[in-house]
Amino acid sequence: MSHPAPSPAPRPRPAPLATPPAALSVRDRVMMQLTEGKWDGPRAYKMWLPPLVAPMALDRLLSQDRALNHPAHMRIPMGIIDNPRRHSQTVWTITLDGTTSNAAIGGATLLGKSTFVQTMILSGACTHSPRDLQFYCLDYSSNQLVQLEDLPHVGGVATELEEAKVRRTIAELITLLDRRRAYFTQHRIAGMAHYRQMRNDPNHPVSQDPFGDAVLVIDGWSTFYGNPDNEKLVEQIITLATTGPGFGIHVVITTTRWSDLRSRVRDLLGLKVEFHPASPDDTVLNDNRKALKSVPKRAGRCMSTEYLHIMIAAPRLDGASTMAGIAETYAQTREVITQQWQGHQSAPPVRTLPDRVPVADLLRMKPLATPQDSYKDRWTIPVGLLEQTMQPAVADLANYPHLLVFGDSRSGKTSALRAVVRGILQRNSEKQVAFIVVDYRGKLLELIPESYMVPNMYLRNPNDVERSKVRSGPLDANDPMQVDPSNLLAGLLNTRRPPASLTAEQLKERSWWEGYDVVLVIDDFHAMTQAHSHTNSAMSELLPYISSATDVGFHLIAGCHMKFANGLLSRGLISSAYGMGSSTILLSGDKVDFPSGREFSVMKRPKGQGLYRTADGLELIQAGFDPPAE
């Protein structure tokens, strides 16, 4: 009996496809096969790179740059630049040298201009020693630069409210420029490259220069420029931008409006970077306005002369590519950079005027002189410390024989007078100078040794000044105690009038008389005039000798209350002395109390600080401090 052949075992059914093969196109079938397989060969060329959305952390940017490029002086990595034609995103750097020694960054607010300069400072600090590169900052924007003040590369950060420090920051760089010019001439230096080479030679004199390349950073030019009180500072900044690059001084400015940069300033700032503009027409990169319009209104995104999109790196060294939480990273960033340059000399700090300049310190500074020196040296008297140079301010009492001090109560008038007198005493012997003193308040007591005084000429009250008025009966003209001191002094000075027959050389040498110069010191001149019968014309007998004082050896040193300035400057001795250009210290006071014009104005100031007016111009000084004994 035959049996039927067994039927074959059933085949396992394949798992059902999500989409039946018949429903897939050829393209989809190929894509499915390629993605399901494990491909370990070369990837296809990636033409489109991700958009510039998040800023790269600065430490990551610097690592990327070090892997591809050699460091160079004043070359500062700043961010990532996207070049779509080359399908690349590479490190974007700036070089503060040559035609791009100065820079300007413009754009609307809150888009990253302050972050730009923060990144520039931190990147420069990571790639240069604090001896080679230093930053001096004026923060008129967001106070973000204050976070970098303690870096070894930062000599100082001054905010809008720190007016004195702002002035001193600019003055420090002007002084550096003048000093570098002198170095270049003296040592026949060809340029900054040569200077840097000489500075690295320990045997060369310029190796003692503590400054390297110095960058003045002004964050918030629109605010700075908009202050009319900064007009002189603007001119100094223009000088730095014009001449500074040739001597290692650079200017970097951020501005909200390009129109706030004068054309001559704008032309000096070779490197220009634009964020999204505050208004469509407010741009300076005009070669490709279409490209500029594509800059998004996103923080950190900008464009420069390459007309390519740039994302500025986040100013942080913790590897986090974000601006979130940046405020918490500054302390660590400062510590990292400080540790990196441990043992290196920090940037020279910005010096500011001290609250007090003790006269002893002032007299130890140059110009030093002794009784053995020439007449001009002996009568070049230090009166304070100049803010512009931090050097002594001097009164040339040889050519401009008088000195006036105006100020409110407790502004430092008497202290300044005492300091001037001490300078005269230090430089002259009792045979070379003699004093007559009017001191109703007794604040000059024990200041002048008896051997330097004209006998019986320390005048403590109105009766001493007008002796002739308090005597009854006939006066004895030969008795000095019965004659007004001003008449006695006028009589002495009259004997010294130059004869008409003198030659120019004899006039210069004052050879027709011998003896000491007479210094009339009057503290509180206004008090003397109020008590005098002739009021503002007190001591008018001396008026003819104010203008001829150089010939006859006469000096008026007077302190006056600011509230009486208008009256005192209308007639009398003070008016005559001021009118002939005498050195004048204008301490604290109200603007309305002193006759001034556009040249200057009196204002409230810290004690001892004031304007110093000389034949050379106006300077801000801290007057010498020599308070009377309590």
| Residue 309 in tokens | 């999109």
Per DSSP, 587 falls in state -
| Residue 400 in tokens | 């401009």
| Strand 249-255 to 103-106 pairing | parallel
In angstroms, the CA 337 to CA 252 distance is 22
| Residue 177 in tokens | 């420029």
Chain center to CA of 196: 24
As a three-state string, the secondary structure of 255-285 is ECCHHHCCHHHHHHCCEEEECCCCCCCCCCC
Determine whether the annotation assigns residue 201 to a binding site: no
Radius of gyration of the chain (CA): 37
Determine whether the annotation assigns residue 413 to a binding site: yes
Determine whether the annotation assigns residue 410 to a binding site: yes
Determine whether the annotation assigns residue 411 to a binding site: yes
Determine whether the annotation assigns residue 109 to a binding site: yes
Contacts by 49-54 with C-beta closer than 8 Å and gap 24+?
49/82, 49/87, 49/88, 49/89, 52/80, 52/82, 52/89, 52/301, 52/309, 52/310, 52/311, 53/298, 53/311, 54/311, 54/321, 54/322
Determine whether the annotation assigns residue 112 to a binding site: yes
Tell me which residue has tokens 């490029």: 69
Determine whether the annotation assigns residue 412 to a binding site: yes
Determine whether the annotation assigns residue 334 to a binding site: no
Per DSSP, 57 falls in state B
Q: Do residues 77 and 103 touch, judged by C-beta distance below 8 A? A: no
Determine whether the annotation assigns residue 110 to a binding site: yes
Helix axes 163-186, 192-199, angle to 10 degrees: 90
In angstroms, the CA 560 to CA 528 distance is 10
Determine whether the annotation assigns residue 108 to a binding site: yes
Feature table: binding site for ATP: 107-114, 407-414
Feature table: binding site: 107-114, 407-414
